[in-house]
Amino acid sequence: MIDAPTFRSTLGRFATGVTVLTARDASGRDHGMTVSAFCSVSLDPPRVLCCVERSADMYPIIQAASHFAINILTTAQEPISRRFAEERDDRFDGLGYTRGLTGLVLLEDTLAYLECAVAARYDGGDHLVVLGDVIAGAASDGRPLLYYRGGYAQMER
């Protein structure tokens, strides 16, 4: 079996987009975290998945949430990614956002967003795998923020 450092190093060669996952707790309080473990699953029905580490403060929120939103970040939003990667209570303070159809936070000036209804949750080892049926979304022009080999990167095209 592959050891953890080799596995991490090998997967670090796979560039991923950077997103901020948002959801609400039972009291209606907003929560969010940076997520790079995100991908599309199906076109029919439109479905995506994201993975949340069990030790993350977002874990109990997404475990109970009926909906979540994915905000796909641009290169200009690296500071937002860093903010939502830290454990802090004021992640949304001073940020521009609107609320989507589900009432969830949609960050301003993102490359795209998706609002999802939770379709299923699966044990993913030290992560929870969450499938979401996409109920709304939109895209804008811009360059994506990428994560590669443990740091942020930009794509030139």
pLDDT band of residue 14 (cuts 50, 70, 90) is confident
Element (H, E) at 81: helix 78-85
145 pLDDT band (50/70/90 cuts)? very high
Measure CA 127 to chain center. Answer: 13
pLDDT digits (tens, 9 = 90+) for 19-54: 999 999 999 999 999 999 999 999 999 999 999 999
**Residue showing tokens 């599309």:** 40
The beta-strand segments (E) located in the chain are 16-17, 19-24, 30-35, 38-43, 46-53, 67-72, 97-99, 105-107, 112-124, 127-139, 145-148, 151-154
What CATH homologous superfamily does 14-148 map to? Answer: Electron Transport, Fmn-binding Protein; Chain A (2.30.110.10)
Whether the model pTM is above 0.85: yes
What does the domain layout of the chain look like in residue ranges? 14-148
* pLDDT tens sequence across 63-76: 999 999 999 999 99
What local confidence, expressed as pLDDT, does residue 157 receive? 64
